[in-house]
Structure 1
Amino acid sequence: MPNAMEKLVYKLKSQWDTILECERVVEKERCCEELQKRRLEERKEETKQFLVEAEKHEVWKFRGLVTIKKEREDKEAWLRKNPNPLHKLKQKRRFLQKDYHKGDFFQFDADDWASTMATDEIYKRDFSAPMWEDKMDKSILPKIMHVKNFGRIGRTRWSDLLDEDTTDRSTP
């Protein structure tokens, strides 16, 4: 059978694809692919650099922790060798115990740990010990009395409304 003639299709001149345009499109696609490959390589390098930096940071942090631990152990060893008899551990305070300060006024002799301790009895007093009404165990009192200054003028009536039922169901 003889070659059949193809049907001619007419295109506008603006729709013509020339060889140059086809080559430009191919070149542009190839440039985009190369750019993607370069970006991928750069990203891999950045990731490697980041991992190296993170590893350096971890090593630095570990050295810092080791240094802190060594300093703490040295300090504890020194304290075990040279205990400070004037340094007292704070006592656990009682429930609702008031805090009294020893005061700075009218103390003529120094009583801090760096200086010599005075021999007077007042300088040896423990100000963290409970006094007067703090000696009583307030935890056995009813819950409403678990406040400071209960029944005195300076105390407000309500400390908070968390424990109170504020709904009034008697009103219509």
Structure 2
Amino acid sequence: MAARGGVNAKGENAPQPVKVQRYWPGKAPKGVTDYSSSEEEEEEQFERQKETDLITSVQKVEITEQEAASDRRLRRLKEAKEDSTQVIDRRRRHLEDVEKEDIQKDQLHVIEALQEVELDDAAEIRRRQLKRDRALEIRRQEEEGLKALEEEERTQTAQVEEEEEESDSEETSEYETDSEEEEQISRKLLKPVFIPKAHRETVLERERMKELEEETERKRLRELEERKKESHAMVEEHVQKSLQKEVSEDTGLQEIDDTDGLDEQAEYEEWKLRELRRVKRDKEERLAREKERDEIERRRNMSEEQRTKEDMERIKKQREEKPKGQYKFLQKYYHKGSFYMEDDNQILKRDYTVPTPDEVGHKEILPKVMQVKNFGRAGQTKWTHLTDQDTSTKDAPWNAKTEINKRTISKLGGFHGGFDKPTAKKRKS
């Protein structure tokens, strides 16, 4: 509740309670009548016009012509109004003239452009016609030149044949004269004639070579395709044979043996030999199983230390029985490898001590100076081997016989003349 000023019943000023009206969105307040939008707009326009009239209204006063003529301000306003009217008219006329000139210029540009396009088209047509006429003239001249050349060659050939026939019946001097004339004719230079590209031998030869290369490539591709087909056929045949073999093994079908009864005595001997071998093989397998069983039983009755000792002895015996290779004099050493040596691969069981083909057979017969490794190379060694060489050096500072070294050595243990027991030393002291 709000309050406003007022007078109470006693005539004193006192605030009076006023009920505040609450407004809701989308709902018109109480006491407000609905008006159309057009009526509201008319009322607003009327109010604005009224305010404008109040602000801009000027009191109109009647002025006579004599007063207007005598009033300098009115006269000045009138002259300014006339001047502004003249300036506006002059500017408007100037703009109209400029627009007319621009329109005329645009029209002239369009006409000139059309004329230039027409002239360019006509010139292009005339230029093409001249090129076509020139090409036809050149072709006609070439054809005439070819015809003239062929005619000249035929004439020369006929003359040469006639001269050869005449030379047979004439004397030797006349023959020499005719031969000189023939040489002059043969030395006659021919006029160069243009040959079209389609008729040139180089172009034709190039095309033939290109066709030959393409044919060779096609042939190679055909052969490759045929080899692929043959490989596929071989693989398919192999797979079919494998499948047939598996099927025959699964079914247990065997080929019929039709050789029985041909030689009964030989067949009996073969059967007897097979039976003896089978009996011997069975006996050996039985003895091996019994021996293995006895060995297992024996090792089970042994202690862990005894089994370990027996294993080590067996390994030592195997190593001793294994033949060891012997290196030759100054033979190059190659590392034997450390990994995968326990595999049963046959290549790992070869002898690594065998010399390579680059090794010299007997280096002990070489001169003493050549009995070094990599003789004559950048990595040549200085000594044959170090077993008979003293490679120790005495140039170190601690090996020099100086007073400092003597005092240092005298303080080191193990460098004195004798050794006394500590107990004896204490007793002496």
Query: Which TM class, normalised by the smaller chain length?
Result: 0.3 to 0.5
Structure-1-length-normalised TM-score:
0.41
Name which structure has the greater RCO, CA cutoff 8 Å, separation 6+.
1
Q: Higher helix share goes to which structure? A: 2
Q: Based on CA coordinates, which of the two structures has the bigger radius of gyration?
A: 2
